[in-house]
């Protein structure tokens, strides 16, 4: 699945950052592409020591820096409503949307929502952290995240090309000035912690930076909604998590309720602090889901759902073997996930009055690319840590992060229902506005 409008958002973010930081370096021998001259996704090609040309083919623009719109681009730009206007319409005039929701227009507009946005995303994928030009390697090697914007050429005077300081800013300073929250503010769209942990749980199936290989690499080779956070990102891990009977996943029963097995029963590698006894290490598809009881809660819910669907399928298809029951259930779990993501999660996030719809047949007979590649910019933008509260309230008890993190007893001590209820009641923090404000202040002080 493509994750909607993130391409343009990334571009917006990076444009905000780049032009605002510092002065130009003027020197004869600077690679001219370090000035990042080519606009509108034109490609900078260096010709001589100090000569470049922008390749504007199929950008809809021409001119030295791909800034002059072609005729049809001009028409399109003139006719196309601004993203702000579209958003305003989608989040106001509920009487219109009440009509749309219950007629054929819903399908028509939903198709438009999906296809219009997917057109912003280059497909096949383009750059990655090593290649600022098109290459077979960056197309073929899925160990890389793709990149919507090419990396700054390596021989540039500064990390931003020619602007800003000669080195990257001090991370401590960045955190202090830009990211650190001084006072908690509730999310104005009224997201709760159930939403926050869903966001984290869901996105960690495709954001799995392979730090040992480098920040541009991913361990999630499926590049999308493959439920690798439930089943593991390799066949070996999947087999360790499977019961290998009736399609099911391994589990343990505590007080008659189903929970993930410990790593004694499912010997997968999990990241717990050293010295955590194995009988306290719960096993999940994702190595890090022991970190937070919120992730463990979702892991448990999906485990129960997987095994529930297996039971139903087995009664419907008594002759299916373990493998077919497992594979078919995984498909169903992925479908359920996408439906929840579109119809509840994105619905909540968007604030749209239009009722979004997941229907796999909707895009049949339309030009739609089903391939997908996760972009590095997408991962960076999805660091939604401001959603987290200052402390966690569970069933009347308050947990600091020290008490909450890696505390696997919370899951079975309170049980899934109590956790769902508590996380549904606690407001999440405000995400973006704060960061954008800080960013502006930061840029004006530096």
Known catalytic residues? Answer: 204, 382
Q: Does residue number 430 form part of the binding site for ligand HEM (CB under 6 A)? A: no
Binders of ligand HEM among 201-230, rule CB under 6 A? 203, 207-209
Q: Does residue number 379 form part of the binding site for ligand HEM (CB under 6 A)? A: yes
Token pair belonging to 259: 């929970």
Residue 408 CB contacts under 8 Å (≥ 6 apart), including other chains: 280, 281, 282, 290, 293, 296
Binders of ligand NAG among 51-80, rule CB under 6 A? 63-65
Residue 295 CB contacts under 8 Å (≥ 6 apart), including other chains: 197, 200, 201, 204, 284, 286, 288, 289
CA angle 146, 149, 152 (to 5 degrees): 110
Contacted entry of ligand NAG, ligand HEM, none for residue 328, CB cut-off 5 to 8 Å set by kind: none
231/205 Cα distance (integer angstroms): 10
SS3 content of the chain, % helix, strand, coil (to 5): 45, 10, 45
- Cis peptide upstream of residue 314 (ω within 30 degrees of 0): no
Contacted entry of ligand NAG, ligand HEM, none for residue 98, CB cut-off 5 to 8 Å set by kind: ligand NAG
283/338 Cα distance (integer angstroms): 24
419/380 Cα distance (integer angstroms): 29
CA 398 to chain centre: 29
Considering CB under 6 A, how many residues would be counted as binding ligand NAG? Answer: 19
Q: Does residue number 39 form part of the binding site for ligand NAG (CB under 6 A)? A: no
Token pair belonging to 214: 């480098």
Collapse the DSSP code of 58 into the 3-class scheme (helix H, G, I; strand E, B; otherwise coil) and give the result.
Answer: coil
Contacted entry of ligand HEM, ligand NAG, none for residue 390, CB cut-off 5 to 8 Å set by kind: none
Q: Does residue number 433 form part of the binding site for ligand HEM (CB under 6 A)? A: no
Contact string (CB under 6 A) for ligand HEM, positions 273-312, x = contact: -------------------x--------------------
Task: State the residue for tokens 């090697």.
Answer: 141
Q: Does residue number 185 form part of the binding site for ligand NAG (CB under 6 A)? A: no
Contact string (CB under 6 A) for ligand NAG, positions 335-354, x = contact: ------------x-----x-
Least separation in angstroms between residue 202's CB and ligand HEM is 8
Q: Does residue number 388 form part of the binding site for ligand HEM (CB under 6 A)? A: yes
56/386 Cα distance (integer angstroms): 39
Contacted entry of ligand NAG, ligand HEM, none for residue 50, CB cut-off 5 to 8 Å set by kind: none
Please identify which residue in 24, 76, 308, 383 interacts with ligand HEM, judged by CB under 6 A: 383
Q: Does residue number 37 form part of the binding site for ligand NAG (CB under 6 A)? A: yes
Report the run of H or E that residue 348 belongs to, with start and end. Answer: helix 347-350
Q: Does residue number 409 form part of the binding site for ligand NAG (CB under 6 A)? A: yes
Least separation in angstroms between residue 31's CB and ligand NAG is 12
Q: Does residue number 184 form part of the binding site for ligand HEM (CB under 6 A)? A: no
Of 92, 145, 98, the closest CA to residue 380 belongs to: 145
Collapse the DSSP code of 242 into the 3-class scheme (helix H, G, I; strand E, B; otherwise coil) and give the result.
Answer: strand
Q: Which stretch binds ligand HEM (CB under 6 A): 19-27, 75-83, 196-204, 366-374?
A: 196-204
Contact positions toward ligand HEM, by CB under 6 A?
Answer: 196, 199-200, 203, 207-209, 292, 379, 382-385, 387-388
Which residues of the chain form contacts with ligand NAG (CB under 6 A)? 35, 37, 63-65, 97-98, 101-102, 141, 143, 347, 353, 355, 403, 407, 409-410, 413
């Amino acid at each position: 699945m493509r994750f909607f409008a993130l391409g343009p958002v990334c571009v917006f973010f990076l444009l905000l950052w780049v032009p605002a930081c510092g002065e130009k370096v003027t020197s004869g021998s600077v690679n001219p592409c370090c000035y990042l001259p080519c606009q509108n996704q034109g490609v900078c090609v260096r010709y001589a020591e100090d000569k470049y040309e922008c390749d504007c083919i199929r950008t809809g623009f021409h001119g030295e820096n791909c800034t002059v719109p072609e005729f049809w681009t001009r028409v399109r730009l003139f006719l196309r409503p601004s993203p702000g206007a579209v958003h305003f319409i989608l989040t106001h005039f509920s009487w219109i949307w009440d009509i749309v929701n219950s007629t054929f227009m819903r399908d028509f507009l939903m198709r438009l929502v999906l296809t219009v946005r997917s057109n912003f995303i280059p497909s096949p994928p383009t750059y990655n952290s090593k290649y600022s030009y098109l290459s077979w390697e960056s197309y073929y090697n899925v160990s890389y995240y793709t990149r919507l914007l090419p990396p700054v050429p390596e021989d540039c005077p500064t990390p931003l090309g020619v602007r800003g300081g000669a080195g990257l800013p001090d991370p401590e300073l960045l955190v202090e000035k830009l990211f650190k929250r001084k006072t908690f503010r509730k999310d104005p769209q009224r997201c709760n912690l159930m939403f926050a942990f869903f966001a984290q749980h869901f996105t960690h199936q495709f954001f799995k930076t392979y730090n040992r290989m480098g920040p541009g690499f991913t361990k999630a080779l499926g590049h999308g909604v493959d439920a690798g956070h439930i089943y593991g990102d390799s066949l070996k891990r999947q087999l360790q998590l499977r019961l290998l009977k009736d399609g099911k996943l391994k589990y343990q029963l505590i007080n008659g309720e189903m929970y993930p097995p410990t790593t004694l029963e499912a010997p997968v590698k999990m990241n717990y602090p050293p010295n955590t006894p194995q009988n306290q290490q719960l096993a999940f598809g994702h190595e890090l889901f022991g970190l937070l009881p919120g992730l463990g809660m979702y892991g448990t819910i999906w485990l129960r759902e997987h095994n529930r669907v297996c039971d139903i399928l087995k009664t419907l298809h008594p002759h299916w073997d373990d493998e077919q029951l497992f594979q078919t259930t995984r498909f169903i779990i992925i479908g359920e996930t996408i439906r929840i993501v579109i119809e509840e999660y994105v619905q909540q996030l968007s604030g749209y009055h239009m009722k979004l719809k997941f229907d796999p047949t909707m895009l049949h007979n339309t030009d739609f690319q089903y391939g997908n590649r996760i972009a590095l910019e997408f991962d960076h933008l999805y660091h939604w840590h401001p959603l987290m509260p200052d402390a966690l309230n569970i069933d009347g008890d308050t947990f600091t992060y020290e008490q909450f993190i890696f505390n696997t007893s919370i899951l079975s001590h309170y049980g899934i229902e109590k956790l769902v209820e508590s996380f549904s009641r606690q407001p999440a923090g405000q995400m973006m506005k704060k960061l954008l404000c800080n960013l502006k202040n930061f840029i004006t002080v530096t």
